[in-house]
């Protein structure tokens, strides 16, 4: 990472990579890089939280190290583990070797250490991007352990001593808000809440990700999704990922503009819950949505 990080450089780099965002997203990312603080990103599923880390690794031209969190994740799987099969083999071999008078091997040397994502990120020779994805899925104990690592960027391995980060990694944590994160973790991070985009921004996103969709279709798709989000109380609102999938499907169906029939046939790309489909049909309906979007667009 030789490039000095400036705001204008970061803005241009994100734009080059096709990540459409305003300063409300760029500034926290920029500050996280400059202040070397972890960035905690929250927001509904599918709004582009994980993508921020991926884009960062590309624009910084560095490795993305991903730790996917889940219930039961512990430090063995996140930090390091001893390669006990190899150790057992070595014990067996050394028994035979000792009989021949050879020196006993050190079973707790780096040779037997299995790096897991956190340790790998700390020992990486270049400043990597460490993505700790869906931290809200992990247990509270793991979260407590994690914020110790994130505050000092060092870990202690009893057999090896303290290992300090060679380079402070760029840490991106994401959360879908399944559970409340501890104050300790939040305090150590800069915070970025990614909301659903407005119609203009979503149109630009569609145009970038699905260039085959024309300006008219892209705007109508963005307006329709925006209206669905705003008007209906859904269990799972369609996110940007769903919008893009929907736009791709419409392009595949050679649509040039929204029509009730097309909308009806592609509804399942927007809604991931049968109750939501029923809510949509009951409270808005395809004809009404198309009418509103076409009149408003």
CB environment 142-164: b (16+ within 10 A), e (fewer): bbebbbebbeebebeeeeeeebe
227 binds other proteins (CB under 8 A): no
- Which of 20, 21, 40, 290 lies at the binding interface for other proteins (CB under 8 A)? 40
Contact between 211 and other proteins by CB under 8 A: the answer reads no
Does residue 115 belong to the site contacting other proteins (CB under 8 A)? no
Measuring CA to CA, which residue among 163, 176, 151, 180 is closest to residue 120? 163
Shortest distance, position 255 Cβ to other proteins, whole Å? 32
Smallest separation, CB 269 to other proteins (Å): 24
Binding-site size for other proteins (CB under 8 A) equals 44
Closer CB to other proteins, 178 or 273, in the complex:
178
Shortest spacing between CB 34 and other proteins, in angstroms: 5
- Contact status: 272 vs other proteins (CB under 8 A): no
Q: Which of 13, 14, 28, 169 binds other proteins (CB under 8 A)?
A: 28
Q: Does the footprint of other proteins cover residue 27 (CB under 8 A)?
A: yes
- DSSP secondary structure, 40-83, as one string: EEE-STTSSHHHHHHHHHHHTT--EEEEE--TT--HHHHTEEE-
| Residue 234, helix vs strand vs coil | coil
What is the rounded distance in angstroms from the CA atom of residue 23 to the CA atom of residue 276?
33
For other proteins, which is the closer residue by CB, 131 or 192? Answer: 192
Phi-psi region of 72 (alpha: psi -120 to 50; beta: other; left: phi over 0): left
Q: Is 177 in the site for other proteins (CB under 8 A)?
A: yes
Per CB under 8 A, 157 contacts other proteins: no
Residue with tokens 């709004």: 47
Question: Which one of 42, 174, 226, 243 is in contact with other proteins (CB under 8 A)?
Answer: 42
Contact between 128 and 169 under an 8 Å Cβ cutoff? The reply is yes
Q: Rule CB under 8 A: say whether 256 interacts with other proteins.
A: no
Are 214 and 69 spatial neighbours (Cβ–Cβ below 8 Å)?
no
Asked whether position 82 contacts other proteins by CB under 8 A, the answer is yes
Alpha helices in the chain (DSSP H): 7-16, 23-35, 49-59, 75-78, 84-99, 117-122, 140-152, 183-188, 199-209, 215-231, 240-252, 260-265, 267-270, 274-283, 286-296
Among 66, 186, 236, 272, binds other proteins (CB under 8 A): 186
What's the rounded Cα separation, in Å, for the pair 245 and 207? 13
Q: Determine, following the binding rule CB under 8 A, whether residue 31 of this chain makes contact with other proteins.
A: yes
H or E element in which residue 157 lies:
strand 154-157
198 binds other proteins (CB under 8 A): no
Q: Contact between 30 and other proteins (CB under 8 A)?
A: yes
The span of 11-19, 21-29, 165-173, 207-215 binding other proteins (CB under 8 A) equals 21-29
Contacting residues toward other proteins, per CB under 8 A: 7, 23-24, 26-28, 30-32, 34-35, 37, 40, 42-43, 71-72, 74, 76, 81-82, 84, 87-88, 107-108, 139-141, 159, 177-180, 183, 186-187, 189-193, 195, 233
């Amino acid at each position: 990472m030789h490039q000095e990080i400036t705001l204008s450089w970061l803005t241009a780099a994100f734009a080059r990579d096709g990540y459409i965002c305003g300063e409300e997203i760029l500034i926290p990312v920029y500050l996280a890089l400059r202040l070397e603080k972890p960035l905690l990103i929250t927001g509904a599923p599918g709004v582009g939280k994980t993508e921020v880390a991926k884009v960062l690794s590309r624009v910084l031209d560095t490795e993305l190290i991903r730790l996917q969190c889940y219930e039961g994740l512990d430090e063995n799987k996140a930090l390091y583990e001893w390669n006990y099969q190899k150790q057992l083999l070595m014990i067996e071999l050394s028994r035979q070797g000792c009989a021949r008078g050879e020196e006993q091997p050190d079973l707790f040397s780096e040779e037997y250490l299995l790096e897991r994502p956190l340790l790998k990120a700390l020992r990486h020779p270049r400043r990597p991007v460490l993505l700790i994805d869906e931290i809200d899925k992990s247990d509270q104990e793991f979260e407590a352990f994690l914020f110790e690592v994130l505050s000092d960027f060092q870990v202690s391995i009893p057999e090896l001593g303290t290992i300090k980060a060679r380079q402070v990694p760029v840490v991106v944590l994401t959360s879908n808000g399944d559970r409340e994160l501890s104050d300790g973790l939040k305090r150590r991070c800069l915070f970025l809440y990614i909301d659903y985009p407005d119609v203009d921004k979503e149109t630009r996103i569609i145009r970038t990700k699905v260039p085959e969709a024309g300006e008219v279709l892209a705007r109508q798709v963005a307006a329709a999704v925006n209206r669905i989000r705003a008007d209906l109380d859904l269990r799972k609102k369609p996110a940007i990922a769903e919008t893009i999938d929907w736009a791709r499907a419409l392009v595949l169906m050679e649509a040039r503009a929204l029509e009730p029939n097309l909308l009806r046939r592609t509804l399942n790309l927007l809604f991931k819950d049968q109750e939501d489909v029923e809510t949509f049909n009951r409270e808005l309906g395809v004809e009404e949505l198309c009418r509103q979007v076409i009149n408003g667009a």
